Every structure is written in C-alpha cells, then in structure tokens.
Structure 1
Amino acid sequence: MPNADNWQGDVLRDLGGAARRGGQRPGDAAHAVGTPSHGPDTPAPSPAAGAPVPDAGAPGRAGRSEQAEQAEQAGHQRQERPAPAPYAPGTRAPRNTPDSRPVVDDALTGAVRKPRHGEPLAARAAHALRRIVSSSAAREVAEITRTAEQLQQPVTTGRQIAVTSIRGGAGKSTVAALLGTTYAHYRQDPVLLVEADPALGSLPLRLGARSLRWTTGDVADIVEPQMSLLDVTGYLVQLPDNAWLLPGSQGRIGAMLDTRAYERVMVSLRRYFGVTVVDCETLPAEVARVALTASQARVLTAPATLEGITSTYNVLKWVKGLPRHVIEGTVVVLTEQTPRAGIDLGKAAQKLGSTGASVQVLPYDRHLAAGGAIRTELLARSTRQAATRLAADVFQLSQKRR
C-alpha cells in the first residue's frame, strides 16, 4: 500500500526499483512512442514521426529529481523487457485478449500532407525580432517561469480533469491533448490521458499513437489494487515525457463504455498518476455527466460561433444548478476555427463568465486546423502560450478541491 503522504515517491520508487532489477544500463533501449509499453507479441517500434514533441525552449524540466530520472530510465528499459503474461498475476483475465490495431489505416497514411506550422514564416520572424528589440522579453520570461511553477506544484492525490463539449467539432480532443502534453512536459510525476469517448474518438490520433490494443472498457475488468505502476502501464500506450494514454476504443463502431466501468477505471488508476486528463463524450451523455461531477476541474470547449456560444451558455446555466464547486471549477475554452471569429470574443466571454465559470480563448492555429498528430514545435507561439496558461489555470482550480 503506498504511503498516503508521499504517494508519488512510492510510485517513482516502484519504477526505479524495477529498472535496477532489470540490470540494464540507462539509455540502452530506445524510447518507443505511440505503442503499448509492453504486451504479448508487441515489439518495440521506433518513435512515431508525428508524436508530440515538447517545446525545447520551455522551462520546467531542469533540476529533475533522481527518482524522476529513474522513472524515465525505467520507461526506456521497459521496451527491452521480455513480453509479460497477457495479464498480471492475481488479476482477472479479460474474456479475450484484443489484437493490436493501427490508429490510421496504412492506405490512408499516404494521403497526409506535410504538417504546416501554426503561423506563417513572416509572423514567426516578426515575433523573433520583437523579442530582440523589445524590453518585454524579460517580462515574458518571468511570466513563463511563474506559470511553470504553478504547473509543477505537488499533489497529495491524483488530480482528475474532465474535458467535454456540447457538440462534435468543438476542439474537445484537441484541448485534451494540449492539456495532457503540457502537464507531461512540466511535471515529474506520471500523467495519464483517458479517452472516455469510445464512439470513434480522435484523441489517439491527436497524440500521435500508432496502434491500440487495450481500451478503457478492457482495463476496467483488469486493474486490481495490488498491481504496480509497471503492471498498469503494460495496458497503456506510452507517450513522451512520462505520459500514457488509455484509449476508449480501437476505432470500431459500436464500442460502449458504461458509467460503472468508467468509475472502476478512474478509482483504480487515480493513485498511480499525478494528473489525469479525461476526454469525455459530448454532453448530455451519461459518462460525461459522471466525469464532470467526479473530477476536480472541468473544461468545456465551444466553437467561437454564435451557435457554440448559445448552446454553451444554456449548459452553464444547468451546471449552476449543481453543487457550487462544479461551476467554480469549470473553464470554458472558446476555440477559434477560422482566422477571424464571427463574434466579439470579449462580449462572448463576458456573457459566459456571468455564470461563474472562467473563460479562455484558444486562437486559430493552422497546424491544429489541419488535423492529425499535434506537434508542439509546429504550434504558433500564441497557441503554446494559451495552452500553457489554460493548463496552469485548470490545475490551480483542481487543487482547490481536495
């Protein structure tokens, strides 16, 4: 049983101890991205070309603890370990061991064009010039440092953040992916992204995963309290920066996830991960309602259109009827899906904010608008800043509810 006062240390020691028992030298194994970290008949592949890459210029990864370094080494070394049993000893075996399926059909990969940068070259050059000649560079660095400190605050128990929307195409999975990769980049403890939207959700694609095997519904019948983090991550898709993904389906139509299975997964996995970001179904789906009430903070995405603002405002009025902490712990993200929004974002934010929720804007970004795997080095500067501020604000809200 982990020490309740230092559960993160127990988890990292678990990883570090496994690495020492493996008898390998740090750095012997390649870091595989976008595939299950281990499992029957699963070879260790090369990194996915489209996997998110953290912004090398962002602060927050220096000065990492020895435990964090051991955890990262264990993540590398896990790729070279012999394939384990299909399920951990002492746990319930699933009815059928699923086959690994590709996220994108091979026939479609050739249709993907080269990813575009989030903003034109002229705009990037102008930003660089302003930073050189402007006195605001020091203020910008100070602001980034403060945000990084907020994101790196320790937690006593795992924080769960639910992301949902009123309709499809509102940027829900995109925002969930941005939040998860931001937390994984800045924090030293493990981060989990859960797809609770089994109806052909796009979170694995946005995160650059190549193949999927175990789903949220599968893991609900497998996870047991006595399992270690290494046991648990065997059923997850490994991502960069000590992060993992639990997909909602394998891309099959008709996949289901009921509230009992969702609750079992979230309760069982909470102790292993410092932050869990949940990509929920759209409201008013039952699992989404359960996720909203059970999480410590909520993100509601809405397209920056008149229709999106109107429907989101109506939902926020419903949320106001729930316990007060729900609306106070909710952030609305207005996603600009065209270069110029058709509404006054200031007035829209004021109207939505009158319900008690916070409101932020995710600006239009050519890279995000093109779809596919998110590569953070291609995001526009304004997008990276907005995503980091959003992650920090949402995390602060989650800390207020213990």
Structure 2
Amino acid sequence: MTTVGADLAAATAPLVVARDGAECVLGRPDLGLFVTVPEPGAVFVEALQSGASLAEATDAATAAAGEPVDGADFVATLTAAGLLDPVATQPDADPDGEASPIRGRRQRPIRWIEGVDPAVARRFFGRPAWIGYGSAAAIAVVLLVARPELRPSFESVWFLSDPLLSLLALLPLSLLFNALHEMWHWLAGRALGIPAIFRFSYRGVYVVFETDLSQIVTVPRRRRYGPFLAGMAVDSTVLAVVLLVRLAYLRQLVELPPLLDRVLAALVLNQVISLVWQFGAVFLRSDMYAVLANALRCTNLYRVTWLTTKNRLWRLSDDDRAELAAASSRDRTVARWFGVVYLVGIGAMCWLFLTFNLPIVLSMLVYVGGNLVVPSAHSVPFWESAAVSLYFLVVYGTPGLLALRERRLRRKGLLL
C-alpha cells in the first residue's frame, strides 16, 4: 500500500468529514456512502487530506486517541467499505484496469433541483418562513377545533355523483400534493447544499413518494430538523389556506362553485391524513421518525430495530448478526424499546388494513367486476372500472415489488 502523501491526499479528497458529538461521520456524497468513526479517525483523514504521509497521519490520530493507532489498517478498512478507491491505495492494482466495484449507489445529479441556488432555497426556510409555517399550523388546528363544519369526513372523498369518477379524480390531486410534500424536503435539503434522491418507495402495505436525504448526516444534527419537518410545514400551509377559503365560502364572504368547495373538502381530508400519517407511522420511517431518530442521536435506527426485532422473534443469518454487531451502541440501545413501538405499529396497520382498506377494496372490486365481465368499448362504466382496477393493482401490488427489489439490492451490498 502506498504511503505517499500526495496519493493518499488524492484518495481521501472525495471524503467529507462531519463531527457529531463524540462521533464523526466520514462519507462519499457522490456514492451515498457514510460511516461513523471516532474522533481519531476524522483526525487521520483530515491529516491525509492536508497532504500528510501515512506515518504523519497515524501520529496525529494516535495523539488524538491517546493510544497507538494502526493507520494502515484504517486505510484498508476505508477501502473495504468503498470509501477509498482501491486503485489509489493499492500499489499492485492495474493502473489500466477498472477499480473494484464500490458498495453504494451513485447518485445521479438532479439538474433542475440542483440548479436552484441554495441562497434562493434558504428564503423558504429562514426564520420568517418558519414563523409562517408555524402560524399556518396553528391556524389549521384552531379552525379544525373551532369549526366542526370544516372538519374532514371520509364522505368528502365522494365529491362527484359517480363514486368511481370521484376516486379517479382524487388520485391525481393526492399525487400532486404528496409530491409537493416531498419537493419541500428536497428544497430544504438544497437550502443546506445537500443533494437528494426522489423516488417511489413503500411504507408497510402503502406505496409512497420518498425523498432520500441520507447525505444530511454531513451537517450538524441541530440543522437537520428543517429538512425533516419541511414536508409537514408545506402540508400545514396548504391545509390552512384551504380551510380559510372554505370558511370564507361558508360565511358567504366569497363565491365559489359548489363543486370546487367539495373538491377543497376532499383536499382537506387528504392533507389531514398526510399530517396524521407522519405522527402515526413513526414506526415506518415517517418524517417524525426522522425527527425522533435525530433527537435520540441514532444513525440507522430503523434497520437496527428490524434486526433486533427479527432476532427476538426468529433468528438472524450470519450476515444479519454481523450487521447488528457492527451497529452503533446507541442504535442497539434505542432499538430495544423502539422494537416494541414497531411491533405495535405494524399490528395497528394490519388491523386498519383488514378493517377498512380490505373491505373497501373487495366491495369496489365486486362492483367493478360486474362492469368488466361484459367488456364494451363504448361503455363508460367499463372504462371507469378498468381504470379503478388498474389503480388498485398498482397501489397494492407495488409495495411487494419494491420490497423484493430492496431485499435484492441489500443482498448485493447496494443498499444500506
């Protein structure tokens, strides 16, 4: 292994170092790879980045640790973790060959969002903006408590005379505002200069949009709450605006088409469900899960909770056992009680699905089945039924496919 300072400086240049209390985070933002190391590890990397030789960096880390440090072994560990390029750190690598595969997923730049200047994005998340978000949340709560006629009802879903058309019309509306929720996470990350990945994912039996802000570990914990709460902030703002418009309409201060008022009532229901979900689904990596995990100073609480719970109820494979043993002590400690929350939440979700979702789906399928038995290209009910059937297939079939995909990626070491 080369000990030339310039070579190691080049190898460690892509690494970012972020301190988190007694621990530090080393990461490759371009690969989406991050590990937690003690302070001497950060000192070692920073010394190499400044051009120090391996011996000099080892001396600096030893001084920080107060005991001998094996610098060469640490470099080998970082290389094995995929944080350092093997070609740059191993003398016997073929300079004309390809580097070994690196664990992690390369993050493709999102040009339109990364084209947003962080200074512009910060205007949406400065102190005045958060005062506005907080005021909107307070207004929404007051209106929902004080004005019963504004409270959402599941009957609001059927804002058209045709229930199937109501469901189909509500779908794009729901997708639009769910995407807005994730976009605000995205924009908040941009305000901190953090790239993000926008994708489809799943929570239990539900398909969702997801913004991956894993690179937020490179900023201090106190600065992470803004991106975590950004989605709920914009949800609260939309909810407050819609409630105020509906209140003005009901008090005859403005004129609106009755259909638009019913659409707004459906939107209120959508936003309330979205906000309640963030609190109720804390066991499924919701926004409030991120807030809780950050406040508890955890790094990968969900995964460690899953492994801990699996170990209690079943048994772990050798790889799972090694992964759990390598997890931070803080994650393992919190996972002992968070696992109970996880199990209770999963049970509640299954109960809700069996009690509400499944009967609705079955009754709807029985209804549309009658229209699909006799297909007719000129029948509106037939095409409505076909569209609803496709909708249910996507909504309830996608989570299983995504779960299988994540399992495959994790086995290949491409997903942490």
TM-score with structure 1 setting the length: 0.23
TM-score with structure 2 setting the length: 0.23
Q: Which has the larger radius of gyration?
A: 2
Higher strand share: 1
